[in-house]
Amino acid sequence: MKEVKFSLVFRDMWQSAGKYQPRVDQLVKVAPAIIKMGCFDRVETNGGGFEQVNLLYGENPNKSVREWTKPFHEAGIQTHMLDRALNGLRMSPCPKDLRKLFYKVKKAQGTDITRIFCGLNDARNVIPSIQYAKEAGMIAQASLCITYSPIHTVEYYVNLAKTFIDAGADEICLKDMAGIGRPVSLGKIVEGIKAYKKDIVIQYHSHAGPGFNMASILEVCNAGCDYVDTGMSPLSWGTGHADIIAVQEMLKDAGFKVKEINMAAYMEVRTMIQEMCDDFLGYYIPDLNHINNSLLVKPGLPGGMMGSLMTDLEDNLKSLNKWKVKNGQPELSTDDLLIKLFDEVAYVWPKVGYPCLVTPFSQYVKNLALMNVIQMEKGKERWSMIADTIWDMILGKAGQLPGPVDPEIIELAKKEGKEFETNDPQSYFPDDLEEYKKKMQEKGWELGQDDEELFEYSMHPGQYEAYKSGKAKADFEKDLAERKAKKNAPAAGAEGPKSVTVQVNGVNYKVEIAYGDAVPAAAAGAAPAAPVGEGEDVLAPLEGKFYLVKDNSETAKKVGDSVQAGDVLGYIEAMKTFNAIKADKAGVITAILANSGDSVEEDDPIMKMA
């Protein structure tokens, strides 16, 4: 009787449901109850966007990971994390020295297994991470990013697994991040891998949304899979994962040896998760993410991205409808925009070479599709707004695309003077740890235990600075207060609170609240961030956060600078990508009307030029 072991993907449960994760005190509180459930040999504790979220609401992710992994280690349960190969824990590529430090830090913090993946399935991005992880003493689990296309065949995936095994991978993960892998094909992939190396450990990860994954779990287990990722209520199914209870019962009936579930502990964990949702996390979990949806089969968008997508879509829809009302056009509903987006993703995906729709490439394809939809809804042309990071993917700077790029996109690249690349992606991103170390010393910041603070600053410079200054905490508390006020808004005609006070690091911040379309008094009378000069307004092209630069390699524009048509003035960070704001014509910047990190709406004036 073959044994199948279970992993609880606690990180991905939250990321697939909404935008945020539990605080470290909540994580430490729930860990003993998860251990008491008795059915998990592994728990996914950290990685990917999970650690960035700590910074966004003012917590130190290094402290969080150390405290969160400790109880599992003491109980003999392995911890595993998600990492993005060339991109480390972020959306953009990392230098080699940062990638090497990454694994040393995570091993020291208590993470046993690293699940390495590249959304392009480019072995050049994955193999160095296998080596760095093993050198640091971690278990290197190499992932096959599963999708469904004419290119992504059973043979394609079996050969990719062979390449990773030959390069030293300790384990293989079938990362079915959108849950669109077809069950029988997935079983054949596992069979092929086991035929090549019988004792290689295989773990299956799948999302429930499209509806295939219970059948897929049974097929891969019949073919020899060793570990299965599961979720649990109230964050199972929907855009998340199959519930441990259903998976355990199904496999038990099929004759597999599986561990029993302590149901009293299950209910204890379930109650704690609901309490976390009620505390603040539920304000960032859209209702639609609790529902399975076979419409996801067509666009193939991953469950982890759907968590934040529905939240982000609210802002995009509001901004688009604001424009439509202004121009006398009928508004769109959420469903209208969602269907248009899904259709456009299906159209765009083959044209940009079939990248697997997983972070960051799922966001790139989705963002490109959404920009196309928004621009076309406004009567503009498709492809009129492509972020630099998306161009990097198209041009091969992030790795080799699985399929050919459409001639239409190739022609567009030529018009913009862009060249396609074939070099090793790592060669475009030189080492810079010493530069960050010098900056930290100048600021009087500690490098941290095992250089973990240096790692964090280098991996997420903008977010780390916002965390250190307290701005991240203040922005989050303000956003949460507004969401709570909106959810608890009084009935029409009734009086509600005009403001709330939130405390950040001992400092009180007063947050003005508006209902409906009203503008808070503080915002209406607020002074501009910089003196208003003469000339024409430069408007934000979309809703998001305004930044003058996207990284330390750029010099921020300032009042008095002369610019030429096409020069980059700044960026709008939206949906995890930086979208360049370019000058329409030559001129001089006479005013900068927003600070870096400020939230702006589409068509808000952000600069003036004469």
The CA distance from 283 to 286, in Å, is: 8
DSSP conformation letters of 227-254: EEEEB-TTSBSTTSB-BHHHHHHHHHHT
Residue 498: the pLDDT is: 52
Evaluated on CA atoms 103, 106, 109, 115, the torsion sign reads negative
Domain boundary among 364, 388, 416: 416
Could you tell me the pLDDT band of residue 517, with boundaries at 50, 70 and 90? very low
Residues 410 and 441 in one domain: no
Residues 67 and 106 in one domain: yes
The answer to which of 459-468, 483-492, 538-547 has the lowest mean pLDDT is: 483-492
List 508's β-bridge partners, or say none.
503
The H-or-E segment that residue 377 falls in is helix 361-377
pLDDT tens for 46-78 read 997 778 888 888 889 999 999 999 999 999 999
Could you tell me the pLDDT band of residue 497, with boundaries at 50, 70 and 90? low
Q: What are the C-alpha distances in Å from 346 to residues 113, 149, 221, 290, 606? A: 34, 11, 31, 23, 34
H-helix segments, 112-239: 123-135, 154-166, 183-196, 213-222
Phi first, then psi: give them for residue 574, nearest 5 degrees. Answer: -140, 135
The CA distance from 566 to 585, in Å, is: 7
Residues 71 and 213 in one domain: yes
- Looking at the chain, the whole-number percentage of residues with pLDDT higher than 70 is 89
Could you tell me the pLDDT band of residue 519, with boundaries at 50, 70 and 90? very low
List 229's β-bridge partners, or say none.
7
pLDDT at 465 over 70: yes
pLDDT tens for 501-515 read 555 445 444 455 544
Q: What proportions of the chain, in percent to the nearest 5, are helix, strand and coil? A: 45, 15, 35
In a domain, 92, yes or no: yes
pLDDT at 253 over 50: yes
List 588's β-bridge partners, or say none.
562
Q: Which two tokens stand for residue 82?
A: 């998600």
Residues 103 and 237 in one domain: yes
- Domain CATH number, residue 605: 2.40.50.100
Residues 47 and 24 in one domain: yes
Residue 305: the pLDDT is: 60
In a domain, 296, yes or no: no
In a domain, 427, yes or no: no
Residues 21 and 62 in one domain: yes
Q: Which two tokens stand for residue 197?
A: 């190396």
In a domain, 422, yes or no: no
pLDDT at 215 over 60: yes
In a domain, 567, yes or no: yes
DSSP conformation letters of 563-582: E-TT-EEEEEEETTEEEEEE
Tell me the pLDDT of the chain averaged across its residues: 88
Number of domains in the chain: 4
Residues 29 and 152 in one domain: yes
85 Ramachandran zone, left/alpha/beta (phi>0; psi -120 to 50): left
Furthest-apart CA pair in the chain: how many Å? 79
pLDDT tens for 340-380 read 888 898 899 999 999 988 888 888 888 899 889 988 998 88
Residue type, 422: T
The CA distance from 70 to 110, in Å, is: 7
Could you tell me the end-to-end alpha-carbon distance of the chain, in angstroms, rounded to an integer?
77
Q: Which two tokens stand for residue 269?
A: 């964990």
The CA distance from 481 to 468, in Å, is: 21
Residue 553 structural domain? 536-609
Residue 363: the pLDDT is: 84
Q: Cα Rg for the chain, rounded, in angstroms?
A: 24
Could you tell me the pLDDT band of residue 601, with boundaries at 50, 70 and 90? confident
Could you tell me the pLDDT band of residue 522, with boundaries at 50, 70 and 90? very low
Residue 532: the pLDDT is: 53
Domain boundary among 363, 389, 416: 416
**How does 535-574 read in b/e, with b if 16+ C-beta sit within 10 Å?**
eeebebbbbbbbbbbbeeeeeebeeebebeeeebbbbbbb
**Which residue in this structure is represented by tokens 């001089």?**
588
Domain boundary among 523, 551, 573: 523
pLDDT at 448 over 90: yes
According to the per-residue pLDDT averaged within each range, which of 238-247, 486-495, 559-568 is highest?
238-247
The H-or-E segment that residue 43 falls in is strand 40-47
Could you tell me the pLDDT band of residue 516, with boundaries at 50, 70 and 90? very low
In a domain, 297, yes or no: no
Residues 397 and 445 in one domain: no
Residues 246 and 179 in one domain: yes
Residues 217 and 93 in one domain: yes
In a domain, 530, yes or no: no
The CA distance from 260 to 258, in Å, is: 7
Residue 479: the pLDDT is: 86
Residue 531: the pLDDT is: 46
Residues 223 and 256 in one domain: yes
Residues 498 and 602 in one domain: no
Cα–Cα nearest to 348, from 402, 396, 408: 408
pLDDT at 524 over 50: no
The CA distance from 14 to 242, in Å, is: 14
Could you tell me the pLDDT band of residue 400, with boundaries at 50, 70 and 90? very high
Residue 360: the pLDDT is: 84
In a domain, 531, yes or no: no
Cβ-Cβ contacts under 8 Å for 348 (sequence gap 6 or more): 365, 368, 369, 372
| Mean pLDDT of the 152-181 span | 97
The H-or-E segment that residue 74 falls in is helix 61-74
